[in-house]
Chains A and B, each alone.
Chain A
Amino acid sequence: MLELLILIFRNTFRQRLRTLLTVLGMAVAILAFCLLQTVVQAWYSGVSGASPNRLVSRNAVSLIMPLPVSYRQKIMQVPGVSQVTYANWFGGIYIDEKQFFPRMAVDSQSFFDLFPELIVSSDDLARFAKHRNACIAGRKIVEKYGWKIGDAITLTGNIYPGEWRFVLQGVYRGATRSVDETQFFFRWDYLDEMVKKTMPSEAGKVGWYIVQVANPAEAGAISHAIDSLFRNSWAETLTETEKAFQLGFVAMTEAILIAVRVVSYVVIGVILVILANTMAMTSRERMPEYATLKTLGFGNRFLTALIAGESVSIALLGGILGMSLSFPVAAVFSKELGTLLPIFHIELQTLAAGFAISIAIGLLSAVLPAWRAVRTRIAEALSHVG
């Protein structure tokens, strides 16, 4: 019914200032919701990128305790294991402590085989294999620091003291948008070679193993088999899925994430109250008009559609405005947060949620006014008039 839509449209813009302020409030709320949801997703993004085909074996005592490099051959023997690689957390400082990105020593032969989501050209991989001091970095940090292939990159070690000089031989990019493109990899054998000279007792050790299994369904049995291999040795292992391993990291901040989620819903609750109040106020003023429409024979469905239409229009205008603003704001965030939350972009599902919430807020805000308009008897509503 075109006339109904026209009436809804004109009613919506009748009190311009009131509508404008409500739309802005709504926009801010939906913007906040989208950003907060994105923060939570960014935290979890490492986890959602975890492959069910990968297990992680680490020292059973603590993540910071290493494992002997000789375990690789033994783990390879376990039935169902198709490939094994390993990595060390390097830490270190690039320029200053604020420049954070993950730095790891990895096995140049096998590491990228296990991580197909890190896309490296075969030329880059060949150079990585050829030069002992080679490194491969993610697209985002390469762009951020303006590195070029052949550039020397110097890190100051903290876990492994000294000045470490690497030459950039490759750039990887993520297969999907949710792959972290801020990591920095160099060769484990180069690390080990240096460690042998400076602290011989620490040589031949790796931080953790990454184990590829052919069939994810066997992950439990294989984890068990691996850990049994090293039971009662001086370095026992703890093997779990990559997802469980990463969740262990995230769990520390779980409380903060819950708080962020709660806040994002509180914001929605606040705007619901504001819109509901605006609609209640508006419809109270228009009660004689609603009574007139009823007098003329318009039914409850028409009145309800009229009120809900206005309410949903305001909510959707604000919602769409907020969602549109979330893109530039997220871009600024992404730039400022840099490598701290490497994957900061608005997901489609966040927008879908923002849209659904806008409509729901609009409908909920219309419930009370519509109920009142329907229930009020014409004679009463017009009585101050007659």
Chain B
Amino acid sequence: MIVRVESIHKSYRRGPQEIHVLRGINLGIEEGSFVALMGPSGSGKTTLLNLIAGLDRVDEGTLTVAGTDISRLGEIELAGWRAHHIGFIFQFYNLIPVLTALENVELPLLLRNLTRRERRERATLALDLVGLADRIKHYPGELSGGQQQRVAIARAIVTDPTLIVADEPTGDLDKKSAMEVLELLEQLNKELGKTIIMVTHDPRAAEKAGVIHHLDKGVLDIGRG
């Protein structure tokens, strides 16, 4: 088990109101699997994904990722841990507009002890892998949505993370681009053995995944795969 989620709870406070988003979730994810997390809007998918990725802290329960109990890490340790273990893919790509495709992919490598040349090489390789070798000098504004998301995927894999998390990666894409992105994720999983957790409410997206978990009102259905 690369991810072990044990009876975690998470609430958000909005003014006087407390929203109990996750109510005792248990979940295990095998190394090398491709997991889809589905459920209606507001069911807590993003919340769960953020917790697993170390972007937020659990209120209760334990969360072990790649052998580390991340519910016990402090803010700064957690940032370092994320940089080493997690690759992020967001719905709106979240590229830095003033950086070229290559520079965007290089960005996470700045936190590693690498020479400028090594960084360039690895970033170029990652962009090659997502099929954008001819777009490395382009700025995000000069790329289509699908291309931008592929740059984001290159950025997510360039550090060779333990786990790739993707929050509705096809949510903002047309059908064709969405398919390309999904096929790319499938390829990363199948050929490179990457563990991927993907939030989606697109059934076709979920089909690509080997395991599907349904989240509803803060509780998880048993996975089907």
List A residues at the B interface (Cβ < 8 Å): 1, 3, 6-7, 10-11, 14, 288-289, 292-299, 377-379, 382-383, 385-386
Contact = CB atoms under 8 A, between A and B. Distances in A.
Given A10-B98, A292-B94, A378-B55, 5 more contacts: A295-B55, A297-B108, A299-B79, A385-B90, A385-B91
A285 to B, nearest CB: 11
Contact of B167 (A6, A7, A386): A386
10 contacts: A6-B103, A7-B96, A288-B94, A289-B96, A289-B97, A292-B94, A295-B94, A379-B50, A379-B56, A382-B90
Given A382-B90, A385-B92, A386-B46, A299 B98 contact: no
Contacts of A6: 103
A382 to B, nearest CB: 7
B98 A296 contact: no
B19 interface: no
A138 to B, nearest CB: 57
A295 B82 CA distance: 7
Nearest to B98: A10
Nearest to B92: A385
Q: Among B80, B96, B106, B111, which residue has the most Cβ atoms of chain A within 10 A?
A: B96
Contacts of A292: 90, 94, 96
A6 B110 CA distance: 13
B167 A296 contact: no
B129 interface: no
B80 A7 contact: no
Most chain B beta carbons < 10 A, residue from A6, A10, A297: A297
B63 to A, nearest CB: 15
B94 A7 contact: no
A296 B92 contact: no
Interface in B123-172: 167-168
B110 A3 contact: yes
Interface in B56-104: 56, 76, 79-80, 82-84, 88, 90-92, 94, 96-99, 103
B179 interface: no
- Most B-side CB within 10 Å, residue of A292, A299, A383: A292
B98 A7 contact: yes
B8 interface: no
Contacts of B92: 288, 385
A295 B166 CA distance: 13
Most buried by B among A7, A289, A293, A386: A386
A294 B167 contact: no
Interface of A is mostly: helix
Given A379-B50, A386-B168, A7 B91 contact: no
A11 B98 CA distance: 7
Contacts of A289: 94, 96-97
A297 B103 CA distance: 16
B90 A296 contact: no
A11 B97 CA distance: 9
B56 A377 contact: yes
Nearest to A383: B46
Contacts of A10: 98-99
Contacts of A294: 79
Contacts of B82: 295-297
B107 interface: yes
Question: Which 7 A-B residue pairs are closest in the complex by CB-CB distance?
Answer: A297-B83, A10-B98, A292-B94, A386-B46, A379-B56, A386-B167, A378-B55
A290 to B, nearest CB: 10
Name the residue among B88, B99, B107 with the largest chain A CB count within 10 angstroms: B107
A139 to B, nearest CB: 55
A201 to B, nearest CB: 84
A298 B84 CA distance: 12
A298 B111 CA distance: 7
Contacts of B99: 7, 10
B156 to A, nearest CB: 10
A359 to B, nearest CB: 24
B9 to A, nearest CB: 16
A44 to B, nearest CB: 48
A174 B66 CA distance: 79
A237 to B, nearest CB: 74
A254 B92 CA distance: 62
Interface string B37-58: 0000000001100100001100
Contacts of B83: 296-297
Interface in B23-38: none
Contacts of B96: 7, 289, 292-293
A187 B105 CA distance: 83
Contact of B111 (A11, A297, A386): A297
A11 to B, nearest CB: 6
B56 A296 contact: no
Contacts of B107: 293, 296
B108 A296 contact: yes
Nearest to B51: A379
B167 to A, nearest CB: 5
